[in-house]
Structure 1
Amino acid sequence: MGHGGVSGPQRIVCLTEEPTEVLYALGEQHRIVGISGFTVRPSIARREKPKVSAFTSAKIGEILKLQPDFVVGFSDIQADIAAELIRQGVEVWISNHRSVDGILDYIRRLGALVGAGEKANVYADGLQRGLREIGQASAQLPRRPRVYFEEWDEPPISGIRWVAELVRIAGGDDVFPELAAESLAKHRILADANEVVRRAPDIILGSWCGKKFRPDKVAARPGWEVIPAVRDGELHEIKSPLILQPGPAALTDGVREMARIIQAWSAKQGDR
């Protein structure tokens, strides 16, 4: 540990929301000098930190003016921003975690990088405990619903790996496990939307990246009226900031929202 807590990067730019949420959770937000314009958690970050990036583009000039000593982003989608910053001599870390374990590991690593490894471990351990508790509660359910998770509608794209894993922890079974393993969205596009009809989900969860989920539009898709979820009105939105970012939100509010929906579905099964 450095004296007076001055170890680790002092001027961090976060290109996506999850590093911002993690650093605030660890009490290390004083290190953040710029954030993604899509950040909604924690809400105070929006008020007190300059917004310098979208998901696929960033104001490189604005970022350089902030004189960052470390920039954190996520995935191949931010490769161009990262390359530009690296050419300008900035140190960049692009994480590419896709699973629940990956998210927990990311939190521990990000904490270690800013000299808050101990705090990060305690925080990640707490998140892990929370997931275990949800898993234990959902293991008591008499029947596991089949769940179709849709992260975009035109074309339909099914849920990424951490989403499928959280569905399982919350007590459901993802109907497209083979697509959840694909890290790139283009590989999770449903070649045939009728495949959802064949897999007959009991619950449909929608989280259309950055726009409102429309259950009425889903229910009106040709042939979908026979799907149990459509027949029983089990179409639910999970807001994208809660589930589509591989950070603390998904492991807390996101999975809890899923568990709530699945438990409510389960409670109704007794009446049928």
Structure 2
Amino acid sequence: MSAVAPTPLRSPRRIVCLTEEPTETLYALGEDHRIVGISGFTVRPPRARKEKPKVSAFTSAKIDEIMKLAPDLAIGFSDIQADIAAELVRRGVEVWISNHRSVDGILDYVRRLGALVGASARAESYADGLQRGLDEVAARAATLSRRPRVYFEEWDDPPITGIRWVSELVGIAGGDDVFPEHAAEPLAKQRILADAGEVVRRAPDIIIGSWCGKKFRPDRVAARPGWDAIPAVRDGELHEVKSPLILQPGPAALTDGVQALAGIVHGWAARRDGGAAERGSRSQL
């Protein structure tokens, strides 16, 4: 008897992306034709908002609208979307909820998503390119004469410190996160600062705000009680990185996000080194 060839596995053809990172990744891999619905928070790539129906927020979704799209896979992120995932599963939709929280996790996510849609080679190449870009940023950071201490705030009321991939990207860009122990915590509620005065005590040289969904207000940060003693506040080193660039665990964070961080860090270093040179020249007069 001749062996029966196994039936090849079929990649999902109708994907609903409940967050932005699968949308950006699938477009980058040339697999955007599989996407039938996206998150309303999606901004990358810009054309996705014009081409795909928006069927979810981050903590809610239009379940009936999603079902009308007849998806064979929905992709989301983290425990925050657990209720959406559970409802879709009850409706018979296959769901993949990723839970990566690190730079390596993002790179692995790109590779896994590529494999899922039959684009392993392209995904490997794309992930390798992302890694090379990070290596270049790190090599440039190695030339800094001093690494600044950085406080990254992803929400203001209550203050929430940066998640792990953000902390790692701060390090790649040339800075040192002043709350590395918080970055190891996966849940936002575990990264709430019980005492905002701890930021004063840790004395960051740079403060970076990325308040998810609203504009960073450096004037409000500087006006917090006691914060005028922080070097970053004293020197006017309060900066914003737009949340779509850094707070989604996908390609944006590893490209434009880390580049924005590096620009802030190197700008600080140039101002600091320039000021030191000026003070030195004045002392010789």
Interval containing the TM-score (normalised by the shorter chain): over 0.9
Gaps of 5+ in 2: 1-8, 277-285
Residues 1-20 of structure 1 correspond to what in structure 2 (within 5 A)? 7-20=10-23
Equivalenced residue count is: 267
Structure 2 equivalent of residue 162 of structure 1: 165
Match of 1:245 among 242, 245, 248: 248
Q: Give the CA deviation at 1:7.
A: 4.3
SS in 2 for 1:191: coil
Structure 2 equivalent of residue 202 of structure 1: 205
Match of 1:45 among 44, 48, 51: 48
Do residues 256 (structure 1) and 263 (structure 2) align?
A: no
- Distance in 2 (CA, whole Å) between partners of 1:22 and 1:117 is 12
Structure 2 equivalent of residue 106 of structure 1: 109
Letter in 1 for 2:227: W
Alignment deviations for residues 239-260 of structure 1 (CA, whole Å, 9 cap, x no partner): 0000000000000000000001
Structure 1 equivalent of residue 63 of structure 2: 60
SS in 2 for 1:9: coil
Q: Give the CA deviation at 1:182.
A: 0.3
Residues 61-140 of structure 1 correspond to what in structure 2 (within 5 A)? 61-140=64-143
Structure 1 equivalent of residue 227 of structure 2: 224
Letter in 2 for 1:233: G
Match of 1:236 among 236, 239, 243: 239
Residues 173-188 of structure 1 correspond to what in structure 2 (within 5 A)? 173-188=176-191
Letter in 2 for 1:199: R
| TM-score, length of structure 1 as denominator length | 0.97
Letter in 2 for 1:249: A
Gaps of 5+ in 1: 1-5
Letter in 2 for 1:232: D
- Distance in 2 (CA, whole Å) between partners of 1:170 and 1:7 is 40
- Distance in 2 (CA, whole Å) between partners of 1:141 and 1:164 is 18
- Distance in 1 (CA, whole Å) between partners of 2:93 and 2:120 is 23
Letter in 2 for 1:195: E
- Distance in 2 (CA, whole Å) between partners of 1:167 and 1:30 is 34
Letter in 1 for 2:239: H
Q: Give the CA deviation at 1:15.
A: 0.1
- Distance in 2 (CA, whole Å) between partners of 1:195 and 1:15 is 36
SS in 1 for 2:38: strand
Structure 2 equivalent of residue 23 of structure 1: 26
Structure 1 equivalent of residue 279 of structure 2: none
Letter in 1 for 2:76: G
- Distance in 1 (CA, whole Å) between partners of 2:32 and 2:189 is 34
Q: Give the CA RMSD over aligned residues.
A: 0.8
| TM-score, length of structure 2 as denominator length | 0.93
- Distance in 1 (CA, whole Å) between partners of 2:215 and 2:120 is 37
SS in 1 for 2:36: strand
- Distance in 1 (CA, whole Å) between partners of 2:185 and 2:201 is 21
- Distance in 2 (CA, whole Å) between partners of 1:157 and 1:60 is 30
- Distance in 2 (CA, whole Å) between partners of 1:56 and 1:37 is 11
- Distance in 2 (CA, whole Å) between partners of 1:94 and 1:236 is 32
Structure 2 equivalent of residue 265 of structure 1: 268
Alignment deviations for residues 12-63 of structure 1 (CA, whole Å, 9 cap, x no partner): 0000000000000001000000000000000000001000001001011000
SS in 1 for 2:224: coil
More displaced stretch, 262-271 vs 90-99:
262-271
- Distance in 2 (CA, whole Å) between partners of 1:215 and 1:264 is 17
Alignment deviations for residues 202-237 of structure 1 (CA, whole Å, 9 cap, x no partner): 000000011000000000000000100000000000
- Distance in 2 (CA, whole Å) between partners of 1:7 and 1:238 is 40
Identity of matched residues, %:
79
